[in-house]
Every structure is written in structure tokens, then in C-alpha cells.
């Protein structure tokens, strides 16, 4: 009879990691869509114009206009992509550096 192989031998991380690039893309597209729609809603309704003016002091070209919405989409994608990558990397780092029984569920993961 063969012995069962324990997946947690040598403290190998067997937890599910995030793809930092995929998270960056998802957050980037979401942020781009939000900033474009926010500018275009402000263009047609006037709602949120002071907030857009405040955001425009950081993001060049962002304004409650059609072209300003496109600029906002570009800046939103860049900003969201970078933020998503950083969050994904921090999550993956923290995930595999926790060596307690409650995280792994096995005494083999516990570091002494």
C-alpha cells in the first residue's frame, strides 16, 4: 500500500492565488467605465460637475464633455490597472506568508 502524499509538506503554499494582471485589468476596465459614464452623466444632467472639476485637477483632460469622458476613461484604466496589480501582489504575498493552522488547516504548515 502506497503512502498518501501530503500537499503541505515543506510549507508549500497550496492556497489559491490571484492573478495580479487579471485583477488589474478588471479594476482598470471598471474604473475606466465609471469615469467615462460619470463625465457623460455630468454633461447631460449637470450632476457631479464640482466633483469632476476636483478630479480634473489630478487627471489632465478630464471634464464633463464627451472628449473629457474619453480622457477620464484612459486615466481611469491606467489608475485602476496599477491599483489592481498592487492589490493582487499584496494579497498573494500575505496569502502565502501566513503559516498558522487556521489558515492551512494542517499542522505541517505551522512554522516554528
List the pLDDT tens digit at each of the 112 positions of the chain.
Answer: 555 554 555 555 667 888 999 999 999 999 999 999 999 999 999 899 999 999 999 999 999 999 999 999 999 999 999 999 999 999 989 887 776 655 555 555 555 4
Measure the CA–CA gap between 83 and 40, rounded to whole angstroms.
Answer: 24
| Backbone dihedral angles phi then psi of residue 81, each to the nearest 5 degrees | -65, -45
- Nearest CA to 23 out of 98, 96, 92 is that of 92
Measure the CA–CA gap between 30 and 108, rounded to whole angstroms.
Answer: 40
pLDDT at 104: 55
Q: Where do the structural domains in the chain lie, given as residue ranges?
A: 34-96
- Nearest CA to 8 out of 112, 108, 95, 110 is that of 108
State the pTM of this model. 0.73
Cell triple for 55: 478630479
Amino acid at each position: 500500500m502506497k503512502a498518501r502524499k501530503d500537499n503541505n509538506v515543506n510549507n508549500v503554499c497550496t492556497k489559491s492565488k490571484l492573478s495580479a494582471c487579471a485583477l488589474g485589468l478588471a479594476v482598470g476596465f471598471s474604473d475606466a467605465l465609471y469615469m467615462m459614464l460619470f463625465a457623460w452623466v455630468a454633461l447631460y444632467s449637470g450632476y457631479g460637475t464640482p466633483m469632476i472639476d476636483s478630479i480634473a485637477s489630478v487627471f489632465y483632460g478630464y471634464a464633463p464633455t464627451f472628449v473629457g469622458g474619453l480622457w477620464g476613461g484612459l486615466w481611469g484604466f491606467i489608475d485602476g490597472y496599477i491599483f489592481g496589480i498592487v492589490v493582487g501582489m499584496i494579497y498573494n504575498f500575505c496569502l502565502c506568508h501566513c503559516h498558522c493552522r487556521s489558515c492551512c488547516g494542517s499542522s505541517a504548515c505551522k512554522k516554528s
